[in-house]
Structure 1
Amino acid sequence: MQTDPLVLNNQAQQMLHDLLPQVCQVGWGAAAILRSYYQGEPGRTNLGVQEEQEGPVTAADIAANHFILEQLHTIVPDREHGYLSEETYKAGAHPQPLPQAWVWIVDPLDGTRDFIDRTGEYALHIALTYQGRPVLAVVVCPELEKLYYATLGGGSYVQTLGQAEPDRRLTVSTRSQPEDLTIVVSRTHRDDRFNQFLDRFPCANRHYVGSVGCKISAIVEQQADWYPILSGKSAPKDWDLAAPELILTEAGGQVSRIDGSSLRYNQADVNQWGAILATNGHAHNTLCALARTIIDDLDQP
């Protein structure tokens, strides 16, 4: 039940081509801000952690968010683009879609708990969406010193900080048998229902990683093959998934709900409810079918 693929005209494709190197620079700049807090540089030793309903927020989140939005407004000074991040969403009076067709969706610190706990497995996301679908994406994993980028139809690539070699094009693994696949999941943030869900799959290999951005990087680096998302009391937000989705799909993977439908962004509700699978694409339909069967069984009264 995938929606029709998005097709961009030549003018839009040229815009993405021109924007991409600038957005990559914004990503590296925001990563430097996050690392300065992470490493406790002078004047940035206090994270100012605030525990909120959706999770902790730190001074690093706020500083990186301000930098990214300020830079994007400079790069794209017109009013044809909207901006959606956790901070801008909270500031809105009533949740509703932004009216612009082009919307930037930003997560200045994906994996805040991993950032606070110093696991190194945090990331930042910048995505440009058009009519609810991602068309440009940057994901930076600062402690890996890697920046992943993609444009619709242009492939996914990775830059390594300070590396002189050309950017490396990314492709997912070709593993296709469920029992041979490696699943990437969080060490924590798993309730009993999700653990039961995992235990019923034939995939014995598990790779534990913190943030969504780092999980998707594990798949495009062929360290893992798929990542399940099962909402419970809460769900991932637009800013958690928009940029990682494009990085994965442009590397040959697939992202969908388990009924095969595509994700839509900049809707009235930023929560991505339900069951979502991000895979290398070679066993996507099989995994979706298995997931539907398992969830139906788990949800039996």
Structure 2
Amino acid sequence: MLDWLRAMFGFQRDNVRNQREHLILLLANSHIRLHPKPKPFNLLDDWAVDSVMKNLFKNYKSWCKCLGRKHSLRGSIQCSFHARVSMLHISQYQHFMATTDPENKSPTLPLPPAEVDYSKVDVILRFLLLAASVVALAVIVSSDQTEQVLFQDVLLPQPAKFKYSPAFVYFVAAFSVSGLYALVSALASISVIQKPGFKLKFLLHFIFWDALILGITASATGAAGSVAYIGLKGNSHVGWIKVCNIYDKFCRHLAGSIAVALFGSIVTVLLIWLSAFTIHSRVPK
């Protein structure tokens, strides 16, 4: 086999001899370490060939996984044919990596730096954003309250509803969009885990849309919070009276909904930071 490679690719005779000795030592070392011991012990076991092949092509498979590509090597050893194919792969690898001819020597690629995968963290944060959006909506929608209010010496039932304020209507619309986006983006993030080759493209889209959703939810939270603060404290300079001393349930629901919405905005900021950091970590130093 080695002589055939020398004839096909023009390797030097001494190089072929050295690589034959090196290959014999690798296979013998792997064969001795097998447990349980193969029978008969004086014949090379196919699993020893498989072990040597896995060690030699570990970096190659790591590169393929990093690039999202399937490697072109054969499967694990199952028969003598696969053992011969593995021996051919090993022989080619040794000769191409160890040849002393400068014209034939190919530059070796460095092993990519170990990359920490934050895809699962991204999925968790997106489900947190979904939960925050749903809770904020549920709390503010259920905030309606009706109380007896004195008007011209007559007690009249006066309801307080979120739809009476444009700021609260905008708040409901914004977090409806946020919840829908969180659900869709979470499913997309799960698909990225299954297909890592599309990760970079999805991260760029995530940053853009996350920033857009952050602007919408942050502005809605600020608008609703300012109106709620006036309802809590009033404003004596313009004659706006406080109403939370009357509509206590309504104000409690508003406060809880705005607090959850603020949490959702913080989660969106973390999502943007996470996507930006992941892209930055993939840039070669």
Structure 1 or 2: more helix by fraction: 2
Would the TM-score normalized by the shorter structure come out above 0.5? no
**Higher strand content, 1 or 2:** 1
Question: TM-score normalized by structure 1?
Answer: 0.18
Choose 1 or 2 for highest CA Rg.
Answer: 2
